[in-house]
């Protein structure tokens, strides 16, 4: 399997899945407003940063009641500087693009698996999944008509279910990042946007999450237990497009990392534009000479092309290939450089759900091993921030499978 660029969009009224753009029909008129006169282009609402509250043990509701401050996030390990001769932890990050709780209940499935297997993860939420279709005119996508999107708006029921999973996920210690909004790729997509256009897309993503009560009318639901304007410190661009123009927009917003870079080797992270660069990685593909990106879409593309329903007779073999590739990438660094392993996913049922099962098997296999920490991207950034820069330089010089003399490397 060669290196394949990722590009997925959600389909169906439930917006419960994502699939390759090549197989996706044009969005419906109901979702995009096609054929109708767009409403006046009033300025989209922007997020209002909230002051840091003084914690007194009471929940502090913010803004319109969509978010709140409930104290420091639970279950966060304090990052510690490596001691002389100490071997680095083996970080593994499972991340999820879109983060919608649809009819397949994959958000809740993997959130519970994380609790059971001592794994904390990063959920890159698409802001549009907190905005009802009836309020589509609030979305002003760059280079597209007002209300247009390459993914479907979520149903009211799915918005409520997603909000519930976001609450629980954060309380479990998981990170809530951003996958921005409309998932535009290729022509007029993120790869063609300016920094100012990315800034608008990001501001709107934050606004939709911090104003969901106003936009949905779900006044009886509890607020999210965190201040999104402060908790949001990283994102992944749809289709991994546009990082060059995106990074300055993220930096201006106070992001600490970006996870939009594709196709890099399993090496210790470095900074871009002053932020940590956490790319998808090239993993060994057992039985083949080529390597593939560490994301479900890339296995799909290499096994069944643009079809999300390939030959069922091959499902078992394809599932094994995906699982073995993830595990080969893990073993290479676990017994070598200890570079973090980054695995990207979507909540999907492609090829009978084999990629979801492969990820579940990997999580169960690696997260409780000695020296392994299955954590969020934010937690990796926390750890990197407290390390000696000279030690990090030495770690970056290691080949992925190169065992190190830690007594000399960490001094």
The domain locations on the chain are 86-402
Kindly report the pTM of this predicted structure: 0.88
pLDDT tens readout for residues 95-128 = 999 999 999 999 999 999 999 999 999 999 999 9
When pLDDT is averaged across residues 269-283 and rounded to a whole number, the result is: 96
pLDDT of 168 higher than 50: yes
How far is 7 from 296, CA to CA, in rounded Å? 11
The hierarchical CATH code for the domain 86-402 is 3.20.20.370
pLDDT tens readout for residues 374-384 = 999 999 999 99
When pLDDT is averaged across residues 51-69 and rounded to a whole number, the result is: 78
When pLDDT is averaged across residues 29-43 and rounded to a whole number, the result is: 37
pLDDT tens readout for residues 199-255 = 999 999 999 999 999 999 999 999 999 999 999 999 999 999 999 999 999 999 999
């Amino acid at each position: 399997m060669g290196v394949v660029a990722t590009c997925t969009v959600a389909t169906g009224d439930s917006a419960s899945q994502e699939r390759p753009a090549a197989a996706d029909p044009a969005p419906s008129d109901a979702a995009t407003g096609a054929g109708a006169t767009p409403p006046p282009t009033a300025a989209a609402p922007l997020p209002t940063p909230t002051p840091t509250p003084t914690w007194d043990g009471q929940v502090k509701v913010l803004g319109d009641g969509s978010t709140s401050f409930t104290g420091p996030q639970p279950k966060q390990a304090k990052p510690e500087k490596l001691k002389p001769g100490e071997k680095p932890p083996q970080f593994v990050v499972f991340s999820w693009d879109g983060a919608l709780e649809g009819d397949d209940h994959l958000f809740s499935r993997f959130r519970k698996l994380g609790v059971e297997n001592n794994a904390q993860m990063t959920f890159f939420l698409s802001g549009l999944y907190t905005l009802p279709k009836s309020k589509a005119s609030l979305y002003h996508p760059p280079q597209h008509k007002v209300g247009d999107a390459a993914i479907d708006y979520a149903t009211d029921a799915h918005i409520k279910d997603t909000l519930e999973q976001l609450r629980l996920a954060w309380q479990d210690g998981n990170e809530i990042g951003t996958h921005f909004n409309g998932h535009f790729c290729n022509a007029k997509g993120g790869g063609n946007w300016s920094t100012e256009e990315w800034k608008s897309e990001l501001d709107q993503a934050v606004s939709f999450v911090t104003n969901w009560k106003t936009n949905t009318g779900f006044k009886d639901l509890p607020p999210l237990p965190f201040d999104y304007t402060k908790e949001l410190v990283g994102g992944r661009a749809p289709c991994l497009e546009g990082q060059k123009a995106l990074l300055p927009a993220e930096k201006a917003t106070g992001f600490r990392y970006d996870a939009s870079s594709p196709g890099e080797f399993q090496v210790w992270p470095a900074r871009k534009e002053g932020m940590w660069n956490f790319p998808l990685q090239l993993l060994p593909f057992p039985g083949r000479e080529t390597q593939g990106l560490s994301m479900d879409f890339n296995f799909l593309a290499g096994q069944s092309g643009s079809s999300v329903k390939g030959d069922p007779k091959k499902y078992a073999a394809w599932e094994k290939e995906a699982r073995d590739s993830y595990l080969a990438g893990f073993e290479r660094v676990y017994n070598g450089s200890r570079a973090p392993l980054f695995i990207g996913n979507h909540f999907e049922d492609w090829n009978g759900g084999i990629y979801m099962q492969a990820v579940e098997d990997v999580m169960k296999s690696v997260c409780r091993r000695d020296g392994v920490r299955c954590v969020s991207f934010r937690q990796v950034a926390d750890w990197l921030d407290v390390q000696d820069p000279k030690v990090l330089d030495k770690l970056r010089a290691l080949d992925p499978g190169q065992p190190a003399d830690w007594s000399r490397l960490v001094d």
